Structure 1
Amino acid sequence: MPTPAEASVTPAPTSAPAAGWHWPANARVLVVDDNLINQTVAAKLLQRQGLQVALANDGSQAVQEVMHTPFNLILMDLQMPVMDGLQATRTIRTLPNGAEVPIVALTANVFEDDRRRCVEAGMNDFLAKPVSPNLLYATLARWMGATPH
């Protein structure tokens, strides 16, 4: 498991992003999930859109990443070891780089109580796993100010 200093940002692919959205230049998304498969799937979907992706394995690593790097958006799982997504969100909201960044829950927890807890923790939106690429992109576009093309 990499430390926050070892966690790397995957550069955006050099090919043109998939049709549909025009993202802000050099847009960076932090994917926070303890499951390597979920991280890989999310990263590939985001990279297809020309977005730069950083990965964190738990909420504690996410906090460290946000302390050192500004992000345009954070996709946050809820249930993780070390620090869960709700506590990570509360902590990120106290940081200069985290006060305004959109945080979207991306979780298998789909009950209304889960949604309420996400909002109370400071998350901006909620997506249920597995998420369709189109819904993921539309949600990111809403919070990142992307425009259709």
Structure 2
Amino acid sequence: MASKSLYTAVAVVGIAAASGAAWWYQQQPQGPKEIQPAGEGRAARSGTAPAAGPQRPPAVEIARVESLRITDDAQAVGSLRSRQSVILRPEVSGRVTQINFRDADRVRRGQLLVQLDDQLPMAQVKQAEAEVSIA
């Protein structure tokens, strides 16, 4: 049991020492880095003098500016759910003669969506009117 606590103590002291050393290293002041002008690179440090005459500026690549139109296009696969949905059920039975919407169309309240065949109900109305006029 004593060896287990000894290992723990050594580990804690080692971690503390490593943390202290890392903190001390980070706190050391960094001297300013020497920035050399262009043309005073390796040649100046090695002791060889650059070629006599005026120094050339560094080579720069240029390009003509062009105006282009960028289109951002993203393709994705997924499924969508609408916030509202409707189930259409008839109040009366009949034959559908006209559908006034397509799939995924927006519809308004009160808009006529489906037209039913009204020949049979109209015939029944005319028959009832005839019976009333006879009576």
TM-score interval, normalised by the smaller of the two chains:
under 0.3
Q: Which has the larger radius of gyration?
A: 2
Larger fraction in strand = 1
Could you state the TM-score of these two structures normalised by the residue count of structure 1?
0.16
Structure number with higher relative contact order (C-alpha < 8 Å, ≥ 6 residues apart): 1
